[in-house]
Chains A and B, each alone.
Chain A
Amino acid sequence: MTRIVIVGGGTGGTVLANRLVENLDHEVEAGEVEVTLVNDSPDHVYKPTFLYVPFGKKTTDDAVRPLADLVDRRVDLEINRVVDIDTDAKAVELQDGRDTLSYDHLVLATGAKLVPDEIPGLVEGGHHFYGPEGAEQLRDALADFDGGHLVLSVVGVPHMCPAAPVEFTLMADEWFRQRGIRDEVEITYTYPIMRLHGLESVSNWMEPRFEARDIHTETFFNAEAVDPEAGVISSMEGEELDYDLLVAIPPHAGDDLIADSGLGEDGWVAVDRHTLEADHAEDVYAMGDAADVPTSKAGSVAHYEADVVADRIASEVRGQLPTATFDGKTVCFIEAGMDEATFVEFDYEHSPDPRDESRPVHWAKLAYNESYWLTARGLL
Chain B
Amino acid sequence: MSEQLTADVTIDARGAGCPGPLMDLIGKVKTADSGTVLKLQTSDRGSVTDVPEWVEKAGHELVETVEHDDYWSIYVQKA
Neighbouring A residues of B7 by C-beta, 8 Å: none
1/0 per residue, CB under 8 A from A, across B23-34: the answer is 100100110000
Please encode chain A, from 173 to 194, with 1 for each CB lying within 8 Å of some chain B CB and 0 for all others.
0000000000000000000111
Q: Which of A309-365 contact B (CB under 8 A)?
A: none
Q: Are B23 and A220 in contact (CB under 8 A)?
A: no
A interface residue count range (under 10 / 10 to 19 / 20 to 34 / 35 or more): 10 to 19
Interface residues of B in 20-79 (CB under 8 A from A): 20, 22-23, 26, 29-30, 50, 53-54, 57-59
Does chain B have a CB within 8 A of A97?
no
Please tell me if the beta carbons of A222 and B53 are within 8 angstroms of each other in the complex: no
Q: How far is the CB of B9 from chain A (nearest CB, A)?
A: 13
- Report B30 CB to chain A, min CB distance, Å: 6
A193 close to B22 (CB less than 8 A): yes
Task: From the candidates A158, A198, A238, name the one contacting B58 in the complex (CB within 8 A).
Answer: A238
Q: Which residues of A contact B20 (CB under 8 A)?
A: 294
- A124: interface (CB < 8 Å): no
Contacts of B53 in A (CB 8 A): 194, 220
- With A193-B23, A220-B58, A237-B58 in contact, is A200–B30 under 8 Å at CB? no
Contacts of B57 in A (CB 8 A): 220, 237
B73 to chain A, nearest CB (A): 20
- A236 close to B (CB within 8 Å): yes
Does A157 belong to the interface (CB within 8 Å)?
A: yes
Q: Which residue of B lies closest to A292 (CB)?
A: B16
**Which residues from A are CB-within-8-Å of B17?**
294
Q: A220-B54, A238-B58, A238-B59 are in contact. Are A192 and B26 (CB under 8 A)?
A: yes
B22, closest chain A residue (CB): A193
Cβ–Cβ contact B19 & A222, under 8 A: no
Report chain A residues within 8 Å CB of B5: none
A194 to B19, CA, bound (A): 9
How many B residues are at the interface, by size bracket?
10 to 19
CA distance A224 to B26 in the complex (A): 11
Q: Which residues of B sit under 8 angstroms from A194, Cβ to Cβ?
A: 50, 53-54
User: Contact at B58–A200, with CB atoms within 8 Å?
Assistant: no
Chain A positions within 8 Å of B16 at CB level: 294
In the bound complex, do residue B58 and residue A236 qualify as a contact, i.e. CB atoms below 8 Å apart? yes
Say whether A198 contacts B18, CB under 8 Å: yes
Q: Mark A294-310, 1 if CB is under 8 A from B, else 0.
A: 10000000000000000
Q: Which residues of B contact A193 (CB under 8 A)?
A: 19, 22-23, 50, 54
Cα A220 to Cα B29 with chains together (Å): 14
User: In the complex, A61→B18 CA distance in Å?
Assistant: 37
A200 and B18 form a contact (CB under 8 A) = yes
Instruction: Please give the distance in Å from A274's CB to the nearest CB on chain B.
Output: 12
Task: A331 to B30: give the CA distance in the assembly, Å.
Answer: 32
Q: Report the bound CA distance from A294 to B16 in whole Å.
A: 6
- Expressed in whole angstroms, the Cα–Cα distance for A29 and B75 within the complex equals 58
Cross-chain contact B59 with A198 (CB below 8 angstroms):
no
- Whether A236 touches B18, Cβ cut-off 8 Å, given contacts A193-B54, A194-B53, is no
Task: Give chain A residues whose Cβ lies under 8 Å from the Cβ of B23.
Answer: 157-158, 192-193
Closest residue on chain A to residue B29 by CB atoms? A236
When distances are taken between beta carbons in the complex, the residues of chain B under 8 Å from A294 are 15-17, 20
From residue B12, how far is it (CB to closest CB) to chain A in Å? 11
User: CB distance A222 to B18 under 8 Å?
Assistant: no
Residues of B within 8 A of A236 (CB): 26, 29-30, 58
Contacts of A238 on B, CB cut-off 8 Å?
58-59
Question: Which residues on B are within 8 Å of A, measured CB to CB?
Answer: 15-20, 22-23, 26, 29-30, 50, 53-54, 57-59
9 tightest Cβ-Cβ pairs between the two chains A and B: A193-B19, A237-B58, A220-B57, A198-B19, A157-B23, A237-B57, A294-B16, A294-B17, A222-B26
Question: Besides A222-B26, A237-B58, 13 other CB < 8 A contacts?
Answer: A157-B19, A158-B23, A192-B19, A192-B26, A193-B19, A193-B22, A193-B54, A194-B53, A198-B18, A236-B58, A238-B59, A294-B15, A294-B17
Pairs across A and B, CB under 8 Å, 12 listed: A192-B26, A193-B23, A194-B54, A198-B18, A220-B57, A222-B30, A222-B58, A236-B30, A236-B58, A238-B58, A294-B15, A294-B17
